[in-house]
Amino acid sequence: MTGLLRLSGLIDAVNEGIGKLAYWLVLVAVVVSSVNAVIRYAFNISSNAWLELQWYLFAAVFLLCAGYTFLRNEHIRIDIVLGRFSRRVQAWVDIFGILVFMFPMSILILKLSLPMFWDSFHTNEMSSDAGGLIRWPAKLLIPVGFFLLTAQGVSELIKRIAFLTGHRDEPGEKMHSHS
């Protein structure tokens, strides 16, 4: 179990780092959006590339932070119901949810998105809008984001099992602190 908990800690650290890097993507998205709006209204100049960059950045934040959100336990939950049960029952419900709902969905999307990205990359797919951007970087975000989410699911599963087997005090307890 010690090796699995180390793996869990590594996955947590990767998603924590990516989540903190994504904070900067939010800032970049705000700056791009603001500059684009000012230029469009002040100088009556517009570019599809800037508009597409805005949604690329939004997609990056959303997709790359799914695992980070799961790590932070800030995903959608049924706490109003689960709060009435013991921590052990909550851990079993989490395990069930990860195995029956999260893994099949995230693995399916990961599997289906890889050929879509690969085709876009090989054909150097471009936006159909005039002056638009290449599409494969945005399409790459889908499998990367769902890989990170799936990996975090593995980490959370390890932590719940460790809790149930007495190798960990709390299922949501952090293995190490980040500052």
171 inside domain: no
12 inside domain: yes
Structure tokens at 153: 């699911």
For all residues of the chain together, what is the average pLDDT?
84
Q: pLDDT tens, 51-83?
A: 888 888 899 998 999 899 888 876 766 666 776
The range of the structural domain enclosing residue 65 comes to 2-164
* More confident call, 163 vs 128: 163
Q: pLDDT tens, 85-118?
A: 778 887 788 889 899 999 999 999 999 999 999 9
46 inside domain: yes
Rounded Cα distance, 54 and 147, in Å = 23
- 3-class SS of residue 179: coil
| Mean pLDDT within 168-172 | 70
* Number of domains present in the structure of the chain: 1
Q: Could you tell me the CA-to-CA distances from 60 to 29, 69, 79 in Å, in that order?
A: 10, 14, 28
174 inside domain: no
The pLDDT of residue 4:
80
Indicate whether 22 pLDDT > 50: yes
The pLDDT of residue 78:
66
Determine whether 116 is exposed, middle or buried from the number of CB atoms within 10 Å of its CB (0-12, 13-18, 19+).
Answer: middle
* More confident call, 80 vs 178: 80
Q: Which residues face 134 on adjacent strands?
A: 126
107 inside domain: yes
Structure tokens at 5: 């908990």
